[in-house]
Structure 1
Amino acid sequence: MTVERILILDDELVIRKALEEQLRRKRLSVCSVSNLSEAEKHIQKDEFDLLFVDVHLPDGNGTELLDRIATMQDPPLVVIITGNGTVESAVECMRAGAFDYIIKPFSSSQIDVLMKKAKDYRQLVKVNQFFAKESVEGAELIGKSVPIENLRSMVGKVAPTEATVLINGENGTGKELVASELYRRSSRRKAPFIKVNCAAISESLIESEFFGHEKGAFTGAIQRREGRFELADGGTILLDEISEISPKVQAKLLRVLQEREFERVGGNKTIKVDVRVVATTNRDLMKSVERGDFRQDLYYRLNVFPIHVPPLRERQGDVLLLAKTFAQKFARKHGITLRGFEEAASRSLSSHPWPGNVRELQNTIERAVILSESGLKISADSLGLMPVMANVNVPAFRETVATPEPVGVGAGSTGYGGSNQVGFPPSTPTSSSTFSSESSVPDFGDEPLPLEQIEKQHILSTLETTKGNRTHAAKILGISIRTLRNKLAIYREDGEFIAGEE
């Protein structure tokens, strides 16, 4: 977080010019004045990050500015300068809101130390403001299967390094929490960890979210704002669902990855940052590159160390362990005492293909806990899982575009037990919501079909029932309209007839 614009208020010309020259050598924008009235005019007109203010001035006491600055929306830091310093006066100034206090004559090294403190403090404040919207809690990777042990091993090897990591996997597998685990086991774990949900931010705003903007850069930009890369300086930035960004932003992001520098929207000052980049995607980015949707050079910059998060169906033995962990957590949350799972419920959990992965399992368990009687075991009926067809083959990871996962923190978890760091929307489709009722499932005959084909035929059949009304169809299917549109786009490429289209 940079300190860029500075105001010096001191009536001694020699002090003012010496301080101004030292700061300008640091390529900072500096304005210097000799009295309070001039200083107030500049403060009304311009934004400043830091003020050096002398106490004894021709037209008053410099500390008078502290009360005025305290009412500003984004107040600058104030360093009090005086030639008659005492401990009592220093304490008084700090209580009034001053950031620091220096006594004349001061050395250039004192100013260097003070500027470093100011930069670090501003970043701390901005990062805390960002995290005020998100509670950050720990999470634990739960599972004993071979795929999850391999995942732990990969995370353990790359976490201590500075390598850029690209995490891929189906929706609901826990990509964001793997990113959090990378952060917690890295050398940057005491520095900021900033997340950007690329799928949840509109194309017109994502550049400003990434790089920040200057005052007046566009309608509504009433003050300068630091972007996520600036907030993450010295730490780690998570680019969640990186495949969703536009080609224009891809080009600017490539420069940040290569040079670790950028300009704010509407600005011309080059800002350098030291960040580690971790990205996630639920798409096959190589296919996106082949279609021209994603820059090849950006893909190779991101894909330095790829990590694949396995779907739940490949984690044999982890389902019941995760289910028990979730059941304990949700029982505490809802004030219910439970005695585990009935045998039929355990069989149902183990045999279900979990197309929604750990997110679906988590939502299923929370619903079952709420439906269960306190003091009893969770029954198969309370799980609400549909019987699994024999020989159903669940499709492996393929390119899909689903409802964006939120950056904010909630009560949910994905692939992890205990407290957690990311919440998932309750509207995420589960097996029981995708196939709304037994009577609505099409008759596919005796020949077993892959689950993907069953889903396709059910979606197309539902769309025919609603006479092409996608909003109504999405509600019946229990999925978002965006998810439905994306699935229909895939079906259209496969040459399928879609009700409501010419």
Structure 2
Amino acid sequence: MFPTLLIVDDEQPILHSLEGLLSDEGFNVLTAPNGYECLKTIDAEHPDLVLLDIWMPGLDGIETLREIKKSHPDIPVIMISGHGTIDTAVTATKYGAFSFIEKPISIDKVIVAINNALNFRKLEEENRFLRTRMIAKNAIDGSSPPILALKQQIIAAAPTEAPILITGENGTGKELAARTIHQFSTHSESPLITVNCAAIPEALFESELLGHEKGAFEGAKAKHIGRFELADGGTLFFNEIGDMNLANQGKLLQVIEEKRFCRLGGSRVIDVNVRIIAATNKDLRKEIEEGRFREDLYFRLNGVPLDMPPLRNRLEDLPLLVERFTQAWCKTTESEPKAFGQDAMEALADHSWPGNVRELKNLVERLLITVNKETISLTDLPTPYRASEPKEAAGGLSDLADISDFKQAKEAFEREYIKRRLAECGNDTAAAAKSLGVSKGHITRILKP
């Protein structure tokens, strides 16, 4: 399908000449002798691009351009003038013109300008599409009262420059909330850079945050750009901020307050403008009382507090979440869709979900892999998720007192403790092993029937 161009000029020879030349190049060409006819044609035909003369009687080119951009901001406009001045070109650009061509017209220059404008429009449309997909991907699913309240808070806080502190248990979707905030913020066209405070070694934290110059320390063989610099103009997300040590907290606070820093081993001052979002599963007020978190940093981060509700407090969202995870998995793996039976859903609703949404996602994907039938039923669920199990699980640790043999009681306690930690980590063996300070093999061995 060939692009449609609208040529607007009060000089009939130029109008007909351009019409013929551009038609020969394969474009569909419309014409209009003045600004009024131009606006009527745009409303009726929706052309892909407008070639617009500036000097016309009645509604001139600049006024016509302003009207086009009010009602059809996505249509690129190339301005044409026989009396071009720098001021005129600046004015046209200010009101949204893509480019400016002077008469006498070179058809080669016109074709180059048209192709550039159409390619730019295509790129903009692709970016809008990708942005829409990204927003949908990062959307927080659910319509329960806690989630609706959370969404309202996010929509209100996202466009502001206020720092945001997201709190909540493991697996509740704190990073998802941070990405949603970024997508709806004024920084959405710039990067979102994540700093996993629990994963970066303390000794390397300052280098990761600020960067370093070549030779700044032993092993610094090349210049390294830090996270603050990478996030300039965008958002910097500190995940698990409660795991940062006091020394690094002080360094972070200084950069946030001054909005400038020097790379390690460097002397050049680098100014940065970043939106700060932090998240933690810890009670930072308690951490402050016990001397593990700086109070001044807490108040600097806690501009807008957001608390992620645990899954057990939003069970109305369970069916929707199961459906979304199922659809996503089947689409990714190109597998046949499966459904969860009523008995299975009732059992899932009775579970306490210590690992929250992450635990649910991992369970759904596990069942989609292992269950070889169209409908997943109660009998397909692992033992801890069956309806008859929650009460037994709840009393698991207290029942240890009934075991008379100390060795057996010790083994039973370790097994129950690991099972609970595994559930809190969404059945992610590697994450549970890391949090417990043991190997994955140790967990597998303890839980082996």
**TM-score normalised to structure 2 length:** 0.59
**Is the contact made by 2:195 and 2:237 (CA closer than 8 Å) also made in structure 1?**
yes
Q: Which amino acid aligns with 1:238?
A: F
Distance verdict in 2 for CA 1:188–1:331, change over 3 Å: same
**Is the contact made by 1:198 and 1:244 (CA closer than 8 Å) also made in structure 2?**
yes
> Match of 1:140, SS?
coil
Give 2:447's aligned residue: none
> Match of 1:161, SS?
coil
Larger RCO (CA within 8 A; separation ≥ 6) = 1
Give 1:181's aligned residue: 180
**Is the contact made by 1:372 and 1:379 (CA closer than 8 Å) also made in structure 2?**
no
Give 1:197's aligned residue: 196
Distance, in Å, in 1 between the alignment partners of 2:364 and 2:242 is 31
**Is the contact made by 2:228 and 2:274 (CA closer than 8 Å) also made in structure 1?**
yes
Distance verdict in 2 for CA 1:201–1:459, change over 3 Å: farther
Give 1:216's aligned residue: 215
Distance, in Å, in 2 between the alignment partners of 1:225 and 1:213 is 5
Greater Rg over alpha carbons, structure: 2
Give 1:145's aligned residue: 144
Distance verdict in 2 for CA 1:464–1:379, change over 3 Å: closer
> Match of 1:280, SS?
strand
After superposition, what is the alpha-carbon deviation per residue over 1:386-424, rounded to whole angstroms, capped at 9, x for unaligned? 24578869xxxxxxxxxxxxxxxxxxxxxxxxxxxxxxx
Give 1:164's aligned residue: 163
1:444 maps to 2:399: yes
Give 2:262's aligned residue: 263
Distance, in Å, in 2 between the alignment partners of 1:276 and 1:477 is 31
Among all aligned residue pairs of Structure 1 and Structure 2, give the percentage whose two residues are the same amino acid: 41
- Offset, 1:382: 2.6
Kindly report which structure 2 residues correspond to 1:62-73, keeping only aligned pairs within 5 A, or say none: none
Kindly report which structure 2 residues correspond to 1:12-91, keeping only aligned pairs within 5 A, or say none: none
Distance verdict in 2 for CA 1:328–1:298, change over 3 Å: same
Kindly report which structure 2 residues correspond to 1:55-454, keeping only aligned pairs within 5 A, or say none: 138-374=137-373, 376-386=374-384, 387=386, 444=399
Distance, in Å, in 1 between the alignment partners of 2:273 and 2:328 is 38
**Is the contact made by 2:348 and 2:387 (CA closer than 8 Å) also made in structure 1?**
no
Q: Which amino acid aligns with 1:360?
A: E
Distance, in Å, in 2 between the alignment partners of 1:458 and 1:314 is 33
Q: Which amino acid aligns with 2:260?
A: E
- Offset, 1:190: 0.5
Distance, in Å, in 1 between the alignment partners of 2:292 and 2:189 is 36
Q: Which amino acid aligns with 1:384?
A: P
Give the unaligned 5+ runs of structure 1.
1-134, 394-430, 448-456, 467-473, 487-502
Give 1:480's aligned residue: 432
Distance verdict in 2 for CA 1:329–1:250, change over 3 Å: same
Distance verdict in 2 for CA 1:181–1:136, change over 3 Å: closer
**Is the contact made by 1:371 and 1:382 (CA closer than 8 Å) also made in structure 2?**
no
After superposition, what is the alpha-carbon deviation per residue over 1:315-369, rounded to whole angstroms, capped at 9, x for unaligned? 0311111011111221233333234111211111111111100000000000111
> More displaced, 268-277 or 163-172?
268-277
Q: After TM superposition, where is structure 1 displaced by more than 4 Å over at least 4 residues in a row? A: 388-393, 457-460, 463-466, 476-479
Distance, in Å, in 1 between the alignment partners of 2:349 and 2:276 is 36
Of 394, 409, 413, which residue of structure 2 is paired with 1:461? 413
Distance, in Å, in 2 between the alignment partners of 1:388 and 1:464 is 19
| RMSD of aligned residue pairs (Cα, Å) | 3.4
- Offset, 1:137: 8.8
Distance verdict in 2 for CA 1:446–1:326, change over 3 Å: farther
Distance verdict in 2 for CA 1:384–1:458, change over 3 Å: farther
> Match of 1:162, SS?
coil
> Match of 1:195, SS?
strand
Give the unaligned 5+ runs of structure 2.
1-133, 403-408, 419-424, 439-449
After superposition, what is the alpha-carbon deviation per residue over 1:453-485, rounded to whole angstroms, capped at 9, x for unaligned? xxxx9887227999xxxxxxx9x9956344225
> Match of 2:339, SS?
coil
> Match of 2:232, SS?
coil
> Match of 2:399, SS?
coil
Distance verdict in 2 for CA 1:286–1:159, change over 3 Å: same
**Is the contact made by 2:147 and 2:309 (CA closer than 8 Å) also made in structure 1?**
yes
After superposition, what is the alpha-carbon deviation per residue over 1:87-126, rounded to whole angstroms, capped at 9, x for unaligned? xxxxxxxxxxxxxxxxxxxxxxxxxxxxxxxxxxxxxxxx
- Offset, 1:269: 2.4
**Is the contact made by 1:176 and 1:240 (CA closer than 8 Å) also made in structure 2?**
yes
> Match of 1:243, SS?
helix
The structure in which a higher percent of residues are helix is 2
> Match of 1:206, SS?
helix
Distance, in Å, in 2 between the alignment partners of 1:158 and 1:354 is 29
Distance, in Å, in 2 between the alignment partners of 1:275 and 1:225 is 19
Distance verdict in 2 for CA 1:359–1:277, change over 3 Å: same
Q: Which amino acid aligns with 2:399?
A: F
Q: Which amino acid aligns with 2:367?
A: A
Q: Which amino acid aligns with 1:176?
A: E
Q: Which amino acid aligns with 1:377?
A: T
> Match of 1:480, SS?
helix
> Match of 1:332, SS?
helix
Distance, in Å, in 2 between the alignment partners of 1:464 and 1:140 is 35
**Is the contact made by 2:168 and 2:174 (CA closer than 8 Å) also made in structure 1?**
yes
**Is the contact made by 1:236 and 1:277 (CA closer than 8 Å) also made in structure 2?**
yes
